Amino acid sequence: MTTENASKRRLSRRGFLGGGLGVLAAVAGGGAWALDRYVVDHVEVSSASSLASDTVVAAQAASDGTATATSYTSDTAKISIETVTTGSGSDTVTYVVADVQVTDATIVRSAFANDEFGENIVANPSVIAKSVNAVLAINGDYYGFRDTGIVIRNGVKFRDSGARQGLAFYADGTAKLYDETTTTADELLAAGVWNTLSFGPGLVEGGTVLSGIDDVEVDTNFGNHSIQGNQPRTGVGLVAANHLLWVVVDGRSSGYSRGVTMTEFAQIFADRGAELAYNIDGGGSSAMVFQDQLVNNPLGKGQERGTSDILYVAG
């Protein structure tokens, strides 16, 4: 990558940077700090995938898996993709649901942009997905936009700074909502956690839509975007052990999809039998990639936005 291209990439970070460096300059006395904190790459771990835990068998999706535009079947994974449109006119909502069943929970993995862990390192979800030969991928929790949270990926601890409600995926195919501030990454690993997500809020627990989720604020840090109101959204749910639902809702596009409230989002999962569901990064970051193709329509423009990580099913 040339120096010029690297500079352009760094200056395209996250949605709040859409206003350019003028936004940063407007922060009295804080422009240089904000530039460093939210724009400049801070690589903490390079070649992060090489650290994948050796305590769990590597991904083993069959090479003879069959795929169509809407489904994939192999010895270890069965995936079906459905696009749903409800309402009409300005009340139209369009979303994509991936129903994922696996025989080995550890083929559901995470990958970092550029295979580097740190802050402000981004790549389009489709680019990250292709780099790891993913069958299916969604954007992750954008861990790189913040410096807090518990980050365990593919059985490896990368960050241990509990701050909010998280989601833990276990190597046995189960998942739980948990309070990051009451545990540690080491304790979670000892309990069999394979991946964590740190965003929120939890949407469904025990098959019931959680109350008060439309009023939740995830963070109050500089540059945070509200997660309230009608928004594009990405979330993950668990129907039963090794049976997942990944949902991406498009939004902010009049006549195509208005987005959904948090409660509406939770109801999508509950209506499809999810016992558990969790909200992750959304807005312009919301993306689903299947067989190397973007299958949703971010902001009605069909253009991905860079993010720091993805969840994917290995192929």
pLDDT-derived band at 39 (thresholds 50, 70, 90) equals: low
- Per DSSP, the residues of 154-220 read TTEEEEEE--SEEEEEETTS-EEEEEGGGS-HHHHHHTTEEEEEE---EEEETTEEPTTGGG-----
What integer best gives the mean pLDDT of the chain?
85
List C-alpha distances in Å: 180 to 134, 175, 212.
29, 14, 19
Q: Specify the higher pLDDT residue, 151 or 1.
A: 151
Query: Which pLDDT value is given to residue 219?
Result: 72
Average pLDDT over residues 131-157: 97
Average pLDDT over residues 22-36: 46
Burial 283-303 (b: 16+ CB within 10 A, else e): bbbbbbbbbeebbbbbbbeee
Q: How far apart are the C-alpha atoms of 207 and 129, rounded to whole Å?
A: 30
pLDDT-derived band at 28 (thresholds 50, 70, 90) equals: very low
pLDDT digits (tens, 9 = 90+) for 237-259: 999 999 999 999 999 998 999 99
pLDDT digits (tens, 9 = 90+) for 180-191: 999 999 999 999
CB 245 within 8 A of CB 272: yes
pLDDT-derived band at 226 (thresholds 50, 70, 90) equals: low
Q: Are strands 165-170 and 175-179 parallel, antiparallel or unpaired?
A: antiparallel
Query: Which pLDDT value is given to residue 220?
Result: 58
3 pLDDT above the threshold of 70: no
Q: Using the Cα atoms of residue 253, residue 130, residue 281 and residue 119 in order, give the sign of their dihedral.
A: negative
40 pLDDT above the threshold of 70: no
pLDDT digits (tens, 9 = 90+) for 259-276: 999 999 999 999 999 999
pLDDT digits (tens, 9 = 90+) for 69-81: 599 999 999 999 9
Q: How many CB atoms within 10 Å of residue 22?
A: 8
Q: How far apart are the C-alpha atoms of 231 and 206, rounded to whole Å?
A: 25
> Which residue, 165, 167, 164, 169, is CA-closest to 154?
169
Query: Which pLDDT value is given to residue 263?
Result: 98
